[in-house]
């Protein structure tokens, strides 16, 4: 199918149904947020949660790496894809979004029902007492404690579980679904009887079970779907 046919097919799947959208890094690449596994993605050491909790070496490494990158997310702005999903939610055509992203761009675009599967970049939670801090405050503490260090310029969310069990369609956008949390939400929805639509550049873990598979970028496809379903309204 061509781009127009793809959009028409997705719009037909969503029309008149309750849809849960599962998103990954691919929906935010147009905002300048790097994809983890796409072309040009930097090499990163994978750190297991248990290693992070137990070993100070990994704690120092991950906090240093995060200090280099978190302000990129702070400056990012929602893409056409984020805005399209917000429009569809406000029109009653999307029940909610379960996102693997921590960038808060769905909320900034105006989406109201957002399950943040991996948390959010702008809030830090103490693993010992549960106290919450802004990421900006933690940045001040890190820099104050490291004056000589140069800084160049999971339980699943219950909201996501409820949406997965109640939707008619699950739309996976901009994610390879390699990370187990996103794939779990998709499988929960499919096993409850939902149709699966996958939109991504490159293969995903759910391609073999998708009812509709579209190769393409999140922004252009979602903007087209929103226009097909809602017309030119903003």
Instruction: List residues with catalytic annotation.
Output: 118
Dihedral pair phi/psi, residue 93, rounded to 5°? -95, -15
19-23 vs 96-99, strand pairing mode: parallel
Contact indicator for 185, 98 with CB cutoff of 8 Å? yes
What's the rounded Cα separation, in Å, for the pair 63 and 139? 9
User: Reduced to 3 states, what is the DSSP secondary structure of residue 232?
Assistant: coil
Q: Where are the beta strands (DSSP E) in 55-109?
A: 96-99
Q: How many CA atoms lie within 13 A of 71 on its CB side?
A: 11
Residue burial 104-139, b: 16+ Cβ < 10 Å; e: rest = bbbbebebebbbbbeebbeebeeeeeeeeeebeebb
154: nearest Cα among 131, 185, 122: 185
């Amino acid at each position: 199918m061509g781009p127009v046919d793809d959009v028409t097919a997705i719009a037909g799947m969503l029309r008149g149904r309750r849809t849960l959208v599962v998103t990954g890094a691919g929906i935010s690449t147009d905002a300048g947020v790097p994809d983890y596994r796409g072309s040009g993605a930097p090499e990163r050491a994978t750190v297991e949660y248990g290693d992070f909790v137990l070993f100070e070496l990994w704690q120092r490494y991950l906090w240093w790496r995060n200090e280099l990158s978190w302000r990129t997310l702070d400056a990012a702005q929602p893409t056409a894809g984020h805005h399209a999903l917000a429009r569809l939610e406000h029109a009653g055509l999307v029940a909610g979004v379960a996102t693997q992203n921590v960038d808060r761009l769905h909320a900034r675009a105006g989406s109201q029902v957002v399950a943040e599967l991996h948390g959010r970049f702008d809030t830090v939670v103490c693993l010992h007492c549960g106290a919450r801090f802004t990421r900006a405050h933690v940045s001040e503490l890190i820099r104050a404690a490291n004056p000589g260090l140069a800084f160049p310029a999971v339980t699943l969310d219950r909201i996501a579980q409820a949406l997965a069990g109640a939707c008619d369609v699950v739309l996976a956008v901009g994610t390879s679904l390699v990370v187990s949390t996103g794939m779990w939400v998709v499988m929960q929805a499919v096993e409850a009887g939902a149709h699966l639509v996958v939109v991504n550049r490159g293969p995903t873990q759910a391609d073999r079970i998708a009812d509709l598979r579209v190769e393409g970028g999140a922004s252009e496809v979602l903007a087209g779907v929103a226009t097909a379903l809602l017309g030119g309204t903003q």
